[in-house]
Every structure is written in C-alpha cells, then in structure tokens.
Amino acid sequence: MINDEEEEEEYRKILDALLSNFKTFASSVTLSYPGEKPQLAQFSAIKRSWENFTSDAEVLVDKYQTDGVVSLPKFMAVEESLAQYQKLVNLLIEYEHAKGQDAQLQLTQIVKYSQLLLIIAACVALIALAAVGVVAIRRVNSFLSALQESYQDLRLAQVESERVAEELIQFIDTANALIFGIDANGLINE
C-alpha cells in the first residue's frame, strides 16, 4: 500500500518534470516568435496560466498535507486553472497548424512558379536556338549562293576561254600568213 509520503514524492517528481518541460517549451516558443508580438502576448498569457495552475496545485497539495482533505472549491479552482492553460495551449497549437498550412501553401506556390519559370526559360532558350539556326541557315545559303555564282562565273570563263581558243584555232587555220606561237620565255613553241 502507498503511503502519503510516497504519493507526495511521486507528485513532486511529476511536477518537477512538468516544470522542466514547460521551461523547454517556453524557450522554444520565445525563439519561434521573435517578431510576432500577438503570439508572444498569447504565450505570456499561457505562461501566466501555467503559473496560476502550478500555484493553485501547490496550495491544494499543501492543504491536503496539513488537513488531509481538499475543499471542492479549491479543487475546482485548480481544475479551472488547468482547463484555461489547456485552452490557451490549444489556441497556440491551432495557430501553429494554420501557420504550417500557410507555409505549405506558399511552398506549393513557389514550386508552381519555379516550374513555370523553367518552362518560360526553356521556351526562351528554344526561341534563341531557333534564331541562331535561322541565322546559320541564312549564312550557309548565302555561302552556297556565292559558291554557285563562283561556279557559274568559272563555267562562263571556261566557255569563253574555249570560244576564244576555237576562234584562234579557226583564225590560225584560215590565215594566209605564217603564224608563230611564242611562250612566256620568248621561245617559239608553235
């Protein structure tokens, strides 16, 4: 059977653990809301509510230890302090949940905008590539046209050269005078 001292010691351990956990919670909340004054004010209310609960609980335990009984109004006050604390903590949790959902929505929008930006960048790159292709094709066509003109000029020069050679051969064949051919060194070659 558990005696009153063991129950009190167990209660003290639980209370110490709760106080330690609350201090950790308080530190993390304070760091989580550096610029959010309404949330810091709400947390201050939670902290006061916690202090009221622990104070009321201490009075209740002390009264039980000295008298061996606890009055119903004092027990109800402790219950009310705990209920108020839980209500405020639940509001903070709801706020955090909503804040998390907002952050997730913003992240989803960022991802969508990033995808759209990638599509736009790909389209711009494709347009730039097409423009470079058009310029390259025009240059190749221009080069081919110039090459074709050069070939035609060469062909015309060759036809002209053949015509002149034919006229010279005909002239030589039909001439009534003696004709000599002299090369570049001044030597007679024909």
pLDDT in tens, 33-59: 666 677 777 777 777 877 777 777 777
Alpha carbon dihedral 165, 167, 170, 175, in 10-degree steps, equals: -110
Which pLDDT belongs to residue 67? 80
Which amino acid appears at position 63 of this protein?
Answer: K
188: β partners: 182
Which pLDDT belongs to residue 2? 46
CA distance linking residue 60 with residue 80, whole number of Å: 13
- Check whether 138 has a pLDDT greater than 90: yes
Q: Could you tell me which residue, 10 or 120, shows the higher pLDDT?
A: 120
Q: For residue 89, give every residue at least 6 positions away whose Cβ sits within 8 Å of its Cβ, in sequence order, or none.
A: 46
Cβ neighbourhood burial of 27 (10 Å; 0-12, 13-18, 19+): exposed
Domain borders along the chain are 4-111
Q: Could you tell me which residue, 183 or 9, shows the higher pLDDT?
A: 183
Which pLDDT belongs to residue 121? 93
Mean pLDDT (the chain, rounded): 81
Q: What is the largest CA-CA distance in the chain?
A: 162
Average pLDDT over residues 1-26: 67
pLDDT in tens, 83-124: 887 887 788 778 778 888 888 999 999 999 999 999 999 999
CA distance linking residue 49 with residue 89, whole number of Å: 10
Using CA of residue 138, residue 139, residue 140, residue 146, what is the dihedral sign?
positive
